[in-house]
């Protein structure tokens, strides 16, 4: 009788154990499937947002729009705004440059993907903000500029200085550049390097962001031109 009970118990235990294992594997498969679907949806949403951003924001103005704006006296300002955006699109940072993310961590610019959230700062240079990356561009240049032995970028990029946002090609040793700790660092070394390099940039509208803890990019003021208060 005892052996029968033990056998019955072992049988029930085996059935229960098999059910538990089966249920665990089913839950694990469902979780893996759900994560895959969420990741796929996130990627599709990011690609759609990137496409919409390019179509609605980066596309050049057509002739009809320019004529209408010329009649209202706004042609010059709009052309300047598009020119500034175009210039920013060709300004880039070398591979390995560290972008400050919204959560306070840093990420190599070549590893950033559409949908990532980077840290920005409002025009008062006091209150931090965040902005979604719409796209990441990549190209090759024949030369770049090295500032203070820390920041490698193209001469067309803009940095926030004590005088306002200034193009790298116009910087001098007398300038100071704004950092993520809200301090200004004096420029003591500007080197022009003639060397081919992979460069990247982030398309996030006209917001600025931090690269190697320096504020780069530019902000649009009320008159439509890049400025700094």
Residue of 85, 120, 225 lying closest to 164 (CA atoms): 225
Residue 93, phi then psi, degrees to nearest 5: -125, 145
103 DSSP β-pair partners? none
- How many other CB atoms sit within 10 Å of the CB of residue 214? 22
Q: CA-to-CA distance for 125 and 215, rounded, in angstroms?
A: 10
Determine the pLDDT at residue 2.
57
Determine the pLDDT at residue 199.
92
CATH topology of domain 90-227: Endonuclease - Pi-scei; Chain A, domain 1 (2.170.16)
Give the helix/strand (H/E) hosting 165.
strand 164-167
Q: In which residue ranges of the chain is pLDDT below 70?
A: 1-14, 16-18, 42-43, 45-91, 205-207, 218-229
């Amino acid at each position: 009788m005892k052996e029968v009970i033990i056998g019955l118990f072992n049988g029930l235990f085996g059935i229960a154990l098999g059910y538990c294992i089966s249920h665990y594997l089913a839950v694990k498969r469902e979780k893996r499937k759900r994560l895959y679907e969420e990741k796929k949806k996130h990627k599709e949403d990011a690609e759609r947002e990137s496409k919409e951003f390019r179509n609605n924001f980066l596309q050049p103005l057509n002739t009809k729009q320019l004529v209408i704006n010329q009649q209202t006296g706004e042609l010059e300002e709009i052309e300047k705004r598009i020119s500034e955006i175009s210039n920013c699109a060709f300004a880039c940072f070398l591979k390995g440059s560290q972008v400050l993310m919204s959560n306070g961590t840093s990420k190599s610019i070549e590893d950033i993907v559409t949908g990532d959230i980077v840290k920005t700062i409002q025009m008062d240079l006091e209150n931090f903000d965040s902005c979604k990356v719409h796209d990441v561009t990549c190209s090759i240049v024949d030369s770049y500029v090295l500032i203070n032995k820390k920041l490698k970028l193209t001469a067309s990029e803009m940095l926030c200085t004590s005088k306002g946002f200034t193009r790298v090609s116009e910087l001098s040793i007398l300038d100071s550049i704004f950092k993520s700790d809200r301090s200004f660092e004096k420029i003591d070394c500007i080197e022009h390097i003639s060397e081919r390099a992979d460069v990247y940039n982030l398309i996030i509208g006209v917001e600025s962001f931090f690269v190697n803890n320096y504020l780069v990019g530019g902000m649009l003021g009320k008159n439509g031109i890049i400025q700094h208060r």
